[in-house]
Amino acid sequence: MAQYPWFKALETPAREFPLMPLPVLAGHLPPSLKGSLYRNGPAALQRGGQKVGHWFDGDGAVLAVHFTSKGPKGIYRYVQTPGYQQEVEANQFLFPNYGMTVPGPFWNNWGKDIKNSANTSVLALEDKVLALWEGGLPYALDPSNLETWGSDQLGGLSSDSPFSAHPKVDPKTGEIFNFGVIPGRQTKLQVYKSQPNGNVVKTASVELDGLSVVHDFVLAGRYLVFLIPPVRVQLFPVLLGFQSFSDAMKWKPELGTEIIILDRATLSVVSRNQTDAWYQWHFANGYEDQNGEVVAEFVRYPDFGTNEYLKEIPTGKPRTKAIGNLWQLRLHPQTGKVVNNVPLLERDCEFPVVSAPAVGQPHQETYLSVHREGADPRQELLFGAIGRYHHATDTLTIADAGENRYPSEPIVAPDRDPTHPGWLLTVVYDANQHQSEVWVYQRDQLTENPICRVGLPHVIPHSFHGTWKSDNDNKL
């Protein structure tokens, strides 16, 4: 089986590059687009000739593209976690990870914590950028040059606290909500409320029935909504070093999906309920509707085969098919009862996002990664287009990147003119030229060519998640 074109971006560890001006390859940079695009993802999938066990195991590197009055500037750096530094020096894997154990006999894993790969997402605060990985603390970075300042306890977390890669920022109050799953004899869902500066001001714990894979959640008006999938980790073989976390995960559809709804003000449980079995990695958004019902939008998979597919990505020859569709779940918040649960798009998609002002609020549009028109998702595997789903008209508008080009999760960036529709940014790997670029689309003109294409000096491996931070204070 031949390797896919997109694998060329992953087969060798990515190269860093220092802060430098970036060329505009085509079009023109919108003069009122001012701010920084940050993206995070696994950049090194091998060490000393050995491949990682899962895509999630790769060492994290952050890309920053600053759109300034003097033109675009960019920088790309690995997050300097202690685990990364020790493994670079040894030129071999030394720590267990999500999808791998330490090479050699199983006792090599004893006494070693899983490595914080800092490779999943970013949260841009006023004076720092946090590199996020859901199993541990975030790492604070300099927002300009991406220097790693170290792990950050956010004014209240313990040194071993998990802080997920999908925090939600309330656009009206600036409050930040997040969570982490704490394994043990009694698994706990730890929920956090933070000030706009990131400092944690309130925590609460919710007991879970077993250790599951909880990757994301939604802020929905007055509520926080968690959907606990029927995946259970058999912790004993992990602790003995026989299996990685990923290999110890079991799909148990008979358990169904658990719905947990919390009051955002008190972080107390409002309701819990059970419903059908499915798996989801990512939510687009949540909100309360005019009837007081809670709405959550997410990409739904029929089972946990998606994890096996992600495990196979580092080989360049994935065989497992994982097709997810955009769904809308409507709940009664006081009981957790499902009012309805329906597909919005039957097209294969992932990485659904909304604009920052829409988080937790009713939204008109969802942006996501999709396959090109006519592509077979069982063959193409990585997405070749981005799309805008308009809810009122039930229409999907697609920006096709072209053959063998792979855009990242789209990121909404506002224009300084509040009447302007704003922009959509994506990092594109062009396998035809073996190069990476940043493409800027006008948000309401996805069928047109990008307004601007910005060149990057080295290939950026396919990343997971990013964010935009506007330069409201003219610092750039």
pLDDT confidence of residue 337: 98
Helix (H, G, I), strand (E, B) or coil at 288: strand
260/287 Cα distance (integer angstroms):
15
**What average pLDDT does range 240-253 have in this prediction?**
94
359/419 Cα distance (integer angstroms):
19
Asked if 396 contacts 345 with a C-beta cutoff of 8 angstroms, the reply is yes
Q: Read off the pLDDT band of 109 (50, 70, 90).
A: confident
pLDDT confidence of residue 464: 98
Q: What is the dihedral of CA 466, 471, 475, 476, to 10 degrees?
A: 60
How would DSSP label each residue in 238-267? HHTTSS-TTTTEEE-GGG-EEEEEEETTT-
pLDDT confidence of residue 2: 64
pLDDT confidence of residue 127: 96
pLDDT confidence of residue 106: 80
pLDDT confidence of residue 245: 94
Asked if 379 contacts 356 with a C-beta cutoff of 8 angstroms, the reply is no
Question: How much of the chain exceeds pLDDT 70, in percent?
Answer: 99
pLDDT confidence of residue 1: 54
**What average pLDDT does range 345-355 have in this prediction?**
96
pLDDT confidence of residue 112: 83
438/425 Cα distance (integer angstroms):
7
Using the predicted structure, report yes or no on whether residue 447 has a pLDDT greater than 60: yes
pLDDT confidence of residue 267: 99
**What average pLDDT does range 463-473 have in this prediction?**
93
pLDDT confidence of residue 450: 98
Answering whether pTM is above 0.95, one says: yes
Fold of 5-470: Methylamine Dehydrogenase; Chain H (2.130.10)
446/4 Cα distance (integer angstroms):
26
Helices (H) and strands (E) in the chain, counts: 4, 35
Closest CA to 428 of 451, 377, 462: 462
Closest CA to 384 of 397, 368, 367, 401: 401
How would DSSP label each residue in 393-457? TTEEEEEE--TTEEE---EEE--SSTTS--EEEEEEEETTTTEEEEEEEETT-TTSPPSEEEE-S
Closest CA to 302 of 269, 327, 283: 327
Closest CA to 56 of 109, 133, 140, 141: 133
pLDDT confidence of residue 102: 87
pLDDT confidence of residue 145: 98
> Mean pLDDT score of the chain, rounded to an integer?
96
Q: Read off the pLDDT band of 9 (50, 70, 90).
A: very high
pLDDT confidence of residue 476: 73
**What average pLDDT does range 4-31 have in this prediction?**
96
Q: Read off the pLDDT band of 108 (50, 70, 90).
A: confident
**What average pLDDT does range 297-326 have in this prediction?**
94
**What average pLDDT does range 283-311 have in this prediction?**
98
| Residues belonging to the chain | 476
**What average pLDDT does range 370-396 have in this prediction?**
90
Closest CA to 65 of 410, 386, 466: 466
**What average pLDDT does range 201-229 have in this prediction?**
98
List beta partners, residue 332: 337
pLDDT confidence of residue 113: 86
Residue 236: enclosing H or E segment and its boundaries? Answer: helix 235-239
Higher-pLDDT residue of 475, 171: 171
Q: Read off the pLDDT band of 3 (50, 70, 90).
A: confident
pLDDT confidence of residue 281: 99
Helix (H, G, I), strand (E, B) or coil at 286: strand
Using the predicted structure, report yes or no on whether residue 184 has a pLDDT greater than 60: yes
**What average pLDDT does range 254-260 have in this prediction?**
99
Task: List the end-to-end C-alpha distance of the chain, in Å, as a whole number.
Answer: 47
Q: Read off the pLDDT band of 280 (50, 70, 90).
A: very high
Using the predicted structure, report yes or no on whether residue 252 has a pLDDT greater than 60: yes
- 223: tokens are 């509520």
420/399 Cα distance (integer angstroms):
19
Task: Please tell me what DSSP assigns to residue 231.
Answer: E
